Chains A and B, each alone.
Chain A
Amino acid sequence: DAKTTQPPSMDCAEGRAANLPCNHSTISGNEYVYWYRQIHSQGPQYIIHGLKNNETNEMASLIITEDRKSSTLILPHATLRDTAVYYCIVTWYKLSFGAGTTVTVRA
Chain B
Amino acid sequence: GAVVSQHPSRVICKSGTSVKIECRSLDFQATTMFWYRQFPKQSLMLMATSNEGSKATYEQGVEKDKFLINHASLTLSTLTVTSAHPEDSSFYICSAKVDTYEQYFGPGTRLTVT
Contact = CB atoms under 8 A, between A and B. Distances in A.
Main secondary structure on chain A at its contact with chain B? Answer: loop
A43 B106 contact: yes
A43 B110 CA distance: 11
Contact of B34 (A32, A49, A95): A95
Interface string A77-97: 000000000010000001111
Nearest to B103: A95
A95 B59 CA distance: 12
A36 B38 CA distance: 15
Main secondary structure on chain B at its contact with chain A? Answer: strand
Contact of B43 (A41, A45, A99): A99
A21 interface: no
A49 B101 CA distance: 8
A4 to B, nearest CB: 12
Interface residues of A, number: 18
A44 B93 contact: yes
Contacts of A36: 105
A62 B47 CA distance: 29
Contact of A42 (B46, B49, B103, B107): B107
B91 to A, nearest CB: 7
A46 B104 contact: yes
Contacts of A32: 101
B46 A46 contact: no
Given A42-B107, A44-B93, A98-B43, 5 more contacts: A42-B108, A43-B4, A43-B107, A46-B1, A49-B101
